Amino acid sequence: MTDASMDNPTPARSRSLSQTDPNTRRRNAAERRFRAYGMAAILVGLFFLTVLFVSIVRSGLPAFTRTVVTVDFTLTQEQMDAAESELFKTKAYSNLFIASLQEQLQQRGMTVEFDEAAIERLLGKVGGTLRAHYQANPDELSQPVAFELAASSRVDGYFKGRVQRETLQDSRFLQLSDLDLVDALEEAGIIKQAFSWAFITGADSGVDNPGGAGIGASVVGSFFMMLVVLVLSLPIGVAASIYLEEFAPQNRFTDLIEVNISNLAAVPSIVFGILGLAVFIQFMHLPQSAPLVGGLVLSLMTLPTIIISTRASLKAVPPSIRDAALGVGASKMQAVFHHVLPLAAPGILTGTIIGLAQALGETAPLLLIGMVGFVARGYPEGFVEGFTEPNSAMPAQIYTWAARADVSFYEKAWGGIIILLAFLLTMNIIAIILRRRFERRW
Amino acid sequence: MNDMTAVDKTVETQRTKIAAQNVNVYYGDSHAIKDVNVEIEDKTVTAFIGPSGCGKSTFLRCLNRMNDTIDICRVTGDILLEGEDIYAKSVDPVQLRAQVGMVFQKPNPFPKSIYDNVAYGPRIHGMAKSKSDLDDIVEKSLRRGAIWDEVKDRLHAPGTGLSGGQQQRLCIARAVATEPEVLLMDEPCSALDPIATAQVEELIDELRENYSVVIVTHSMQQAARVSQKTAFFHLGNLVEFGPTGQIFTNPEDPRTESYITGRIG
């Protein structure tokens, strides 16, 4: 290299371009390393996301099925009269049911010994169910009626692998001999797993009946709360942001307000919960456990989020648009409402939906205002009464289930999480679609 | 690009449209405009020239009270439009801005159709009684903006889809749609290429027939080409104001001479 440059009149470079100097090599290596770190971080994130997703689906899917016993049962008027004349009426119905079941098993050539106690362990108090049904529908007497009875949570667990023959200890809930009966019924096609609409539409049940618990009531509760949040926080939040961003003078007072809004967004939600308890329930005497109060509390929480995102999207509108509007003689308000706000709308919508999604998943404040552990009376009419009737919300319901002793509730909690995530995903997708749709370029 | 063309310009004296008397502008503590007195004539192009930061844009924005939108800005002195003080308490800046239109440095059409861009001003001022009235106003304004032939077939296409020069002429059309008496232009060609600049300059010359035009420009050649009167600002002072030909050939103040010969600025 240096030899060649001696004859060359132009000033020589010390090195050829095809040789990389150590400095360049170091920089390139650093860049490669940084990319590798980034890739690794994303892969780790994806791995955990997959693990989370798989475990949620695996643990949650069983909640959507339940074990049911379908029995064709016929009751004649004489049988009913006879049963009604006995001292223990439901026991009489129960005996009729057992006889019918045994007959059906024998028809298929199976003989299994079982008594009334075994049936009660499997299916609960069948006699009472039958009696109530025929008293309500006397016209169905003397004709075959297909009864679909939910099996107890232990039997359900046997089907889902939670309860195993080897480890089962006889208890008043389930005995080893009952499993023989369950196997026989399964072989006969009388007991099987079916998709459980009751989980999606139903209300929570008592602690001793995990099979009957559903998330429907709390979905409705959450829906009412979201309505309250939307109706309150969207107009208030957007109006406050427009005022602060476009009209308010810059002074100490507005600075103070700004700092406080930013701080409010970071306040733990439980603080809003106890505020709601003190102000809305103890001071204003609004009904406890009601979606109205829940919505009010969640509105307080969502307002800062909406205000911050709305102000950000108002700021993002180029000032030249405001100048243009003012320049042709629009008033400040016309400039904002005709030009700035439409351009900021996609951002405002996105912020609002994300705020709502955050509110939808919030649990802590609801625990404090009593929207938890609610069992609907008179389901299904009991829970749809509106904003002021006691209700629960999805995350609070999941929390309640997870805290209960019976393991079948654990499965319900996972199932509830699947539903909650489905709602959140839907809301986020709507946010993305709205943003794409209304986004305008300038 | 011969500055000396300015010498040939005949300057007929018109009546005064805007008179500024002892105008001072403060941004917070800084004194941006110092004691400016100027008379802007009707049917005349007046150019404000001067180095960056000399206050020419600030002064221009005083003429239609666009500075009102800046909290810390304070204006003292009198600015009279047709003898009326525009900073009087009884004057609504919104009404003023309909009479004193403005074109900005960067073309800023609304992200709406070409038609809506022009129709916006007349609409909010209730200038059109019917749809056909509005159509007429839009056509007339676009013709005045010298852009009608280019856009008449796509009036409902977005204004932001036009080229830079077309956008700026659209903005001029939008400004004249409200029938202003004065047009303020804040470096209207600084974001445009030479061909678009030439078109806009030609348009400015045509606009002189109907309006009093005030243009702020960085380019001395542009000032020489389009204006009849020129004001030279330096450090917030109005150094010299007079017929363009005189300013460019025979300036009275040594600072003006230094600036136009390229020694300062």
- Chain A residue with minimum CA distance to B183: A327
Residue A441's pLDDT is what?
A: 53
Mark whether A142 and A242 lie in a shared domain: no
Best interface-test mutation with A: which of B65, B102, B104, B110 has the largest number of A CBs within 10 A? B110
- Chain B residue with minimum CA distance to A324: B108
- Indicate whether A75 belongs to any domain: yes
Domain range for A345: 216-438
How far is the alpha carbon of B94 from chain A, nearest alpha carbon, in Å?
A: 5
Distances (CA, A) of B63 to A12, B20, B58, B204: 61, 9, 9, 18
How far is the alpha carbon of B242 from chain A, nearest alpha carbon, in Å?
A: 28
- Chain A residue with minimum CA distance to B105: A320
- Indicate whether A244 belongs to any domain: yes
Task: Name the residue among B104, B124, B160 with its Cβ closest to that of A323.
Answer: B104
* Three-state secondary structure call for residue A194: strand
Mark whether A282 and A398 lie in a shared domain: yes
Mark whether A286 and A431 lie in a shared domain: yes
Residues of A in contact with B103 (CB under 8 A): 327
Are A326 and B69 in contact (CB < 8 Å)?
Answer: yes
Helix axes A176-187, A116-123, angle to 10 degrees: 70
Q: What is the pLDDT of residues B121-160, one digit of tens each?
A: 999 988 888 999 999 999 999 998 888 989 999 999 999 8
How far is the alpha carbon of A13 from chain B, nearest alpha carbon, in Å?
A: 40
Q: What is the pLDDT of residues B166-176, one digit of tens each?
A: 999 999 999 99
Residue B132's pLDDT is what?
A: 92
Q: What is the pLDDT of residues B35-56, one digit of tens each?
A: 999 999 999 999 999 888 888 8
How far is the alpha carbon of A243 from chain B, nearest alpha carbon, in Å?
A: 14
- Indicate whether A253 belongs to any domain: yes
How, if at all, do strands A65-73 and B100-103 pair? Answer: unpaired
| Amino acid (1-letter code) at residue A253 | F
Q: Where are the alpha helices (DSSP H) in A108-215?
A: 116-123, 126-136, 153-159, 176-187, 197-201
Dihedral of the alpha carbons of A430, A435, A436, A437, in degrees to the nearest 10? 80
Residue A442's pLDDT is what?
A: 44
Q: How many domains does chain A have?
A: 2
How far is the alpha carbon of A25 from chain B, nearest alpha carbon, in Å?
A: 42
Which among A384, A239, A368 has a CA at the least distance from the CA of A296? Answer: A368
Are A432 and A351 in contact by the 8 Å Cβ rule? The answer is no
- Chain A residue with minimum CA distance to B179: A328
Are A334 and B124 in contact (CB < 8 Å)?
Answer: yes
Instruction: Mark which of A161, A195, A229 sits at the end of a domain.
Output: A195
Residue A11's pLDDT is what?
A: 62
- Indicate whether A74 belongs to any domain: yes
Query: Rounded mean pLDDT of B105-133?
Result: 91
Give the other-Cβ count within 10 Å of A9's Cβ: 6
Q: Does A74 touch chain B (CB under 8 A)?
A: no
Mark whether A245 and A132 lie in a shared domain: no
Best interface-test mutation with B: which of A317, A322, A328 has the largest number of B CBs within 10 A? A328
Burial of A234 (C-beta count, 10 Å sphere; 0-12/13-18/19+): buried
Burial of A268 (C-beta count, 10 Å sphere; 0-12/13-18/19+): exposed
* Three-state secondary structure call for residue B184: strand
The interface predicted TM-score of the complex, written ipTM, equals 0.85
Residue B119's pLDDT is what?
A: 94
Are A250 and B71 in contact (CB < 8 Å)?
Answer: yes
Mark whether A221 and A191 lie in a shared domain: no
- Indicate whether A206 belongs to any domain: no
- Chain B residue with minimum CA distance to A330: B94
Task: Name the residue among A250, A328, A332 with its Cβ closest to that of B120.
Answer: A328
Element holding B91 (H helix, E strand): none
Q: How far apart are CA A142 and CA A132, in angstroms?
A: 16
Q: What is the pLDDT of residues B154-167, one digit of tens each?
A: 999 999 899 888 99
- Indicate whether A4 belongs to any domain: no
Mark whether A226 and A176 lie in a shared domain: no
- Indicate whether A266 belongs to any domain: yes
Residue A387's pLDDT is what?
A: 80
Mark whether A335 and A423 lie in a shared domain: yes
Residues of A in contact with B177 (CB under 8 A): 328
How far is the alpha carbon of A14 from chain B, nearest alpha carbon, in Å?
A: 42
Are A324 and B109 in contact (CB < 8 Å)?
Answer: yes
Mark whether A169 and A294 lie in a shared domain: no
Task: Quote the tokens at residue B129.
Answer: 């009684």
Task: Name the residue among A249, A324, A326 with its Cβ closest to that of B110.
Answer: A324
Q: Does B125 touch chain A (CB under 8 A)?
A: yes
- Indicate whether A39 belongs to any domain: no
Residue B2's pLDDT is what?
A: 45
Q: Does B101 touch chain A (CB under 8 A)?
A: yes
- List, in order, residues 6 or more apart from A250 with CB less than 8 Å away: B71
Q: Does B66 touch chain A (CB under 8 A)?
A: yes
Residue A378's pLDDT is what?
A: 54
Mark whether A352 and A396 lie in a shared domain: yes
Question: Of chain A residues 116-135, which have a CB less than 8 A from chain B?
Answer: none
- CATH number of the domain at A343, please: 1.10.3720.10
Mark whether A178 and A278 lie in a shared domain: no
Secondary structure letter of residue A13 according to DSSP: P
Q: Where are the alpha helices (DSSP H) in chain B?
A: 56-62, 93-99, 114-124, 131-144, 148-151, 164-176, 194-207, 220-226, 244-249, 254-260
| Amino acid (1-letter code) at residue A131 | R
Q: How far apart are CA B265 and CA B254, in angstroms?
A: 13
Mark whether A377 and A237 lie in a shared domain: yes
Segments of chain A scoring below 70 in pLDDT: 1-14, 373-385, 440-442
Q: What is the pLDDT of residues B63-99, one digit of tens each?
A: 989 888 787 888 999 999 988 899 988 988 888 998 8
* Three-state secondary structure call for residue B239: strand
Mark whether A183 and A224 lie in a shared domain: no
Q: How far apart are CA A107 and CA A366, in angstroms?
A: 54
Are B247 and B220 in contact by the 8 Å Cβ rule? The answer is no
How far is the alpha carbon of A375 from chain B, nearest alpha carbon, in Å?
A: 54
Residue contacts between A and B (CB atoms, under 8 Å):
67
CA atoms within 13 A on the CB side of A361: 16
